[in-house]
Amino acid sequence: MSGHDLKTASPLQHHFANFKQQYEAVSLAMWSFLITEILFFGGVFLAYAIYREMYTQAFAAGSHHLSIFLGCLNTAVLISSSFTMVLAVHSARIGKKNLTSLYLFLTLLLGCVFLGVKAIEYHDKFINHLVPNDTFHFHGFEGPGIRIFYSLYFTLTGLHALHMVIGAVILVIILIQNMRGHYTSEYNNPIDMFGLYWHFVDIVWIFLFPLLYLIGRHA
């Protein structure tokens, strides 16, 4: 949008006294959304906890097939993307538009690297018959638990990856809007709120990584 539009339509909504109040209201709303997300993922984590209690050995055997190197790499990539995201929010708050664009771009790049590594991992599961469908077959462990482990693996990482894809799309939009000069040091709520979402997705992975990749490694 042009500068003319920005002058006529103030980013401060008329029902808020000032930018600080608007920021606090928007941020509380974003947290409310994230709370529904926490409980949504919590349900799948609970299913994981129960089945892992029932099939402890099967879960350990299934976990051993996952690449600990790729898991570690993706954890580092995602933590780095959270770091560049918080720097983007910081730069936006002090009004450094170009620096914000750079950090948003780096965040997007790291997010794509994460999804690329995830695609490599999924490809490995597909060619090794580890997708829980008719051709599912796991070498070295028999029983129903191993299939449940891979079902939960695909549910948890799939939901997480879906959040990453949605996040990447929103990130592209925010990056374009920032380059067009939509955000100032006064008003940058969309960048800030997207940051909350991105960090939430990072937190989900922080729990997924040890629960899926690191079971029974000492045995």
- Where do contacts with another protein occur on this chain (CB under 8 A)? 24, 27-28, 31-32, 35, 38-39, 42-43, 45-46, 49-50, 53-58, 68, 72, 75-76, 79-80, 82-83, 85-87, 90, 93-94, 142-145, 185, 195-196, 199-200, 202-203, 206-207, 209-211, 214, 216-219
Ranges of H-type helices in 56-188: 56-65, 68-93, 97-127, 145-179
CB of 207 to another protein, least distance (A): 5
CB of 58 to another protein, least distance (A): 6
Nearer to another protein, 152 or 211 (CB): 211
CB of 163 to another protein, least distance (A): 15
CB of 93 to another protein, least distance (A): 5
Helix 97-127 and helix 68-93, axial crossing angle in degrees, nearest 10: 160
CB of 127 to another protein, least distance (A): 26
- Which among 212, 196, 199 is positioned nearest to 80, based on CA atoms? 199
* CA-to-CA separations, 137 to 112, 122, 176, 213, in angstroms, rounded: 30, 15, 46, 19
∠40-167-19 over CA atoms, to 5°? 95
Residue 138 and residue 62 in contact, taking contact as beta carbons nearer than 8 Å: yes
Count of positions (residues) in the chain: 219
- Which among 5, 33, 13 is positioned nearest to 189, based on CA atoms? 13
* CA-to-CA separations, 116 to 77, 105, 154, in angstroms, rounded: 11, 16, 16
Residue 58 and residue 163 in contact, taking contact as beta carbons nearer than 8 Å: no
Nearer to another protein, 83 or 154 (CB): 83
* CA-to-CA separations, 74 to 99, 115, 196, in angstroms, rounded: 25, 9, 20
CB of 14 to another protein, least distance (A): 22
CB of 16 to another protein, least distance (A): 14
